[in-house]
Amino acid sequence: MIYQIKVKLRDIRPPIWRRIQVHDNITLHKLHEILQVVMGWENYHLHEFESDGQRYGLPQDKFSDPLDFYDKTINERKVKLSEVIHAEKVKFLYTYDFGDNWEHELLVEKIIEAEKGKRYPICVTGKRACPPEDCGGPWGYYDLLEALEHPDDPESRELLEWAGEFDPEEFDLDEINSCLKKKK
């Protein structure tokens, strides 16, 4: 089966979102890799999924914070998407970069049969560019948008120099799907 999932970055207006189609038998770790591609992240930071109060992520090494001993995070490499999500209209959470705290709401819009000859995963559509890595979460992103509106402001110059060429409205579906094909 194929899950059609709408991925929306929380706390951002106007919204940044993607609609993807993935096999139900992929692991949550594979879904993480797909989300990195479709959203435009660089996979530099930790992440986790949360569904029905249960957390899924990568296991930490034995030198982690001792409080992690009580952590009940399940290894995402051992869990298939279909084991976590069983029905349409279910929402779950994907958080990337615990410093910037980019929360993504994932909504399973529908569950469909795979189309013969169609390659999955695929990004069907979306809107707007993903914020640059390490821009400071939603608040830092809004500062960047403000700087883009006022590029001659002396306070904007340093931020714009750091961000480089960034167009918040850019969305290249063909490029995303080309990158997904390379990830297989």
Tell whether 134 and 88 lie within a shared domain. no
Domain with residue 25: its CATH number is: 3.10.290.30
Tell whether 30 and 110 lie within a shared domain. yes
Helix pair angle (137-149, 154-163), 10° resolution: 110
Tell whether 111 and 146 lie within a shared domain. no
Alpha carbon separation from 174 to 33, 34, 95, 123, 129 (Å, rounded): 18, 15, 25, 9, 14
Tell whether 158 and 106 lie within a shared domain. no
Tell whether 86 and 136 lie within a shared domain. no
Tell whether 35 and 118 lie within a shared domain. yes
Chain segment 34-82, per-residue pLDDT in tens = 999 999 999 999 999 999 999 999 986 544 555 554 468 899 999 999 9
Instruction: Count structural domains, the chain.
Output: 2
Tell whether 96 and 146 lie within a shared domain. no
pLDDT of 159 over the 90 cut: no
Question: Looking at the chain, how many residues does it have?
Answer: 184
Confidence at residue 35, expressed as pLDDT on a 0 to 100 scale:
98
Range 153-176 burial, b when 16+ CB lie within 10 A, else e: eeebeebbeeeeebebeebeeeeb
Confidence at residue 176, expressed as pLDDT on a 0 to 100 scale:
97
Tell whether 87 and 141 lie within a shared domain. no
Tell whether 143 and 111 lie within a shared domain. no
Average pLDDT (159-164) is: 83
Reported pTM? 0.91
Confidence at residue 71, expressed as pLDDT on a 0 to 100 scale:
65
Domain containing 70 equals 2-128+169-183
Range 59-73 burial, b when 16+ CB lie within 10 A, else e: eeeeeeeeeeeeeeb
| Half-sphere exposure of residue 102: CA atoms within 13 angstroms, side-chain side | 28
Tell whether 99 and 174 lie within a shared domain. yes
Tell whether 55 and 144 lie within a shared domain. no
Look at 75-79, 102-106, 152-156 and tell me which has the smallest mean pLDDT.
Answer: 152-156
Confidence at residue 69, expressed as pLDDT on a 0 to 100 scale:
45
Distance CA 119, CA 21 (A): 10
Tell whether 68 and 140 lie within a shared domain. no
